[in-house]
Structure 1
């Protein structure tokens, strides 16, 4: 500005030196930083990724005031499949047998719920006492350990019985829901395993009791879902 006797004065702005002051003085003038808002994509436990999508819609160019719209969507990963049938007839008592097509790959770190709806059946062709059983469990193929709390009896039958005179067979079936929660830090595979038993140790019973387990008929299925980061 012009001063007395034609002199020119320069008046510098006085800036508060507080560290929280976003206004700065540069060679070309005052600078007020502008905030840019970005969304967060799902997928990780400790990073910029989460099981919640954060969506951001910026304001129109030149808008005053600048209004940002921020929203969130829950986007946990999940999956389902139908398993096959495990033939337990030739397996040793207590031997774990993998249920075909029951394998699931949990793709990212977090907490998951595993669920398997299973059906088992045992048949025999002799008259006399029998103890037929099938149990199933979720199994971590990476650590070679079963999921705690997941083992279930699919069927357990203990009774004397006679065979059907027309078919020569007697059978018993049962259902179970095999579930468990797991926490992983990297992609991990799980599967369903089954075990059969007779319990009476009789040669005839062991030779003639036939056991099957399935997770693939219309009423059954394998499910997994991420429930937390």
Structure 2
């Protein structure tokens, strides 16, 4: 600045040396760092990703003050499908049979709810006492471990006496919902498996009891959804 008698003075800025001071002096002048805000996307329990999308709208160029708008959207992954029919007629007792088209790929780490609406039927055409059952459960296809809490009796039927052969084929149906909460750390596939059992009818009962399980009737099907990171 100009002083008395034409002399010029240079006044240097005095900057607080505190580490929390964002103002710095550079060769071209004073510098105040500018902050920008970035949203985060869903996808994992660790890192910056969550099951919530955080959206950020920046201010217009040159706006003063700079107003940033921040919002959040719940965005858990989910899916559904209609499964096919498992024919258990020739399966050994206790043998697990995969329900066709029941596989669901859980795509990212987190906690998921698995739900399967299932319908089953058993038929027979012989006289004598027998017990028929169909059990369904969710199973991890990689480890072959069942999801705890998911096994369900879809049918448990006890025929105590003689069936009149003149009335023809006998059948019994039933339905159940197989549900489970599972926690995964990487993409994982689960599927519904079924198994049958018979008792008290001997070889004739075991040969003539026909078992079926479906996730497509009455068209309620298979569902999964992420409920937590």
TM range (shorter): over 0.9
- Counterpart of 2:222 in structure 1 is 222
Verify the 8 A CA contact 2:154 2:175 in the aligned structure 1.
yes
- Counterpart of 2:172 in structure 1 is 172
Residue deviations 1:2-43, cap 9 Å, x none?
234433221111111111111111111111111111111112
Residue deviations 1:49-97, cap 9 Å, x none?
2211111111112212111110001111111000000010111111100
Residues 1:5 and 1:226: Cα distance change in structure 2 (over 3 Å): same
Residue deviations 1:92-144, cap 9 Å, x none?
11110000111111111111111000001101101221101000000001112
Find the aligned partners of 2:167 and 2:79 in 1 and give their Cα distance.
41
- Counterpart of 1:143 in structure 2 is 143
| 3-state SS, counterpart of residue 198 of structure 1 | strand
- Counterpart of 2:48 in structure 1 is 48
- Counterpart of 2:159 in structure 1 is 159
Q: Indicate the RMSD between aligned Cα atoms, in angstroms.
A: 1.5
- Counterpart of 1:185 in structure 2 is 185
Task: Indicate the larger mover: 39-48 or 128-137.
Answer: 39-48
Aligned residues: 229
Cα deviation, residue 183, structure 1: 1.1
Cα deviation, residue 170, structure 1: 1.1
Task: Indicate the larger mover: 109-118 or 161-170.
Answer: 161-170
What TM-score, normalized to structure 2? 0.95
Find the aligned partners of 2:155 and 2:165 in 1 and give their Cα distance.
24
What TM-score, normalized to structure 1? 0.95
- Counterpart of 2:109 in structure 1 is 109
Matched, 1:122 2:94: no
| 3-state SS, counterpart of residue 135 of structure 2 | strand
- Counterpart of 1:2 in structure 2 is 2
User: Which stretches in structure 1 are left out of the alignment for 5+ residues?
Assistant: none
- Counterpart of 1:85 in structure 2 is 85
- Counterpart of 1:197 in structure 2 is 197
| 3-state SS, counterpart of residue 61 of structure 2 | coil
Task: Indicate the larger mover: 159-168 or 111-120.
Answer: 159-168
The ranges of structure 1 where at least 4 consecutive aligned residues each deviate by more than 6 angstroms after the TM superposition are none
Find the aligned partners of 2:85 and 2:193 in 1 and give their Cα distance.
11
Verify the 8 A CA contact 1:164 1:170 in the aligned structure 2.
no
Cα deviation, residue 162, structure 1: 4.3
